[in-house]
Structure 1
Amino acid sequence: KTTHMNAYFGYGLIRCLFTSKDDVVYLAQIYFNKVLMGQYNSTLGKYVGYTEKLKEKKKNEQKCRTNIPLVFNVLSRPVEPTVKLRLVESPDSEHPGMLMCSAYNFYPKHIKLTWLRDGKEVTTDVTSTEELPNGNWLYQIHSHLEIIPKPGENISCMVEHASLMEPKFYDWEPSPDSGRDKIAVGAAGLLLGLVFSVAGLIYYKKKSSGDLLDFTEILVPIT
């Protein structure tokens, strides 16, 4: 059988060599462009390549076969995530604070982050990313919780992963100068803004009814 490739051709030659009925050699040879690329000899019981390219390919194939068990051994071992819980700025003006629970450098991919408030699962005001690949077989994930702090409450991030024998809990412990104090200031600012808004509305209604003097109509002479 002849195969044409860019005006070149290749073919295979199969022969049975024998000198007697008890001495038979099966020989399969592959030629390309009149060059013997390799052959299988039943006496040797293996395929032998005769070109540098095939020898290199065979060498790389052997490396691959040797390293595959090592790769599978590494990939079969779960890697425990590094978890960080911190306060970040909230884009929502209704919530003065946002907590972010981040898990880094874990394997395998599947992981679960759960927010807890005083030991109970929180499902509202929660947003999470997908498991994001790092490019080195490891992953990361981030979960956000928008909060309005209450005195004495305990907020935690629970992490469940194949590398952990049991779920791990990470409690939010704000620093004295950032944490809850900043959120309290933010909440006070929102309350103050609401007070001014209500006061402005009352002023506008009274002014419209004529109870207040219209200062825009008072002319002050300039000397």
Structure 2
Amino acid sequence: KYIFFKICFLSYCILVLVPGLNLTWPGSPAEDFMYQFKGTCYFTNGTQRVRLMARQIYNKEEILSFDSDVGVFVAVTKLRQSSAKSCNAQKDLLAEYQAHVDTLCRHNYYQTTTRTSLPMVTISPARTEPLNHHNLLICSVTNFYPQQVKVRWFWNKEEETSGVVSTPLIQNGDWTYKILVMLEVTPQPGDVYTCHLEHPSLQSPITVEWWALSESAQNKMLSGIGSFVPGLIFLGLGLVILTQIGPHSRGLVQ
């Protein structure tokens, strides 16, 4: 395994580490050049063995490198041998680079491997179809990290393995993932479909249910919601009015 990261603490040492670079100064002819510094960490068996490679590159050509396994700077080209000698004479610089095996490589490894993001789970039918018609239920699992995830479908508390189709893991671009797991169904009134999710960030699995309701049951549910919402609104208005007249009422009593 390896992790790439940028290291900026040597930017002020370019002239020291790489003497002789033909840099452009005010008043001199314009000349294109590019200096790069690349740090790479290599891991074996987790953090049991960690190796840091720090490379300095000028105009796409590597000129100087530091290998933590060797412990010194090495000139990649003959012209930079004096640069390597100058760097290796700075014992504090060598110690600083060697220390980055722990302060950067191992630190970044633990930050990455212990990071978690809780998943969000929803169920929705692919099409608006009446009961007794073929359909597809989609269990959408989003915003989770790490990528290890196990999604299962249950029909009336019995696990379903046939008719299950899954997309590959999809990267969101922010270190989180999403996945869609679909189940072919022909729902009957009263059927209960459950999406069951297991993930390292969870102390216990997440289960989300989808109920197959007949049209009359849906109408009753909508009617109940329609009656509940106005009641909730009037209750809120009543509380607001009581709050506003409360102090005046206490003044009258006194």
Normalised by the length of structure 1, the TM-score is: 0.50
Larger radius of gyration: 1
Structure with greater strand percent: 1
Normalised by the length of structure 2, the TM-score is: 0.44
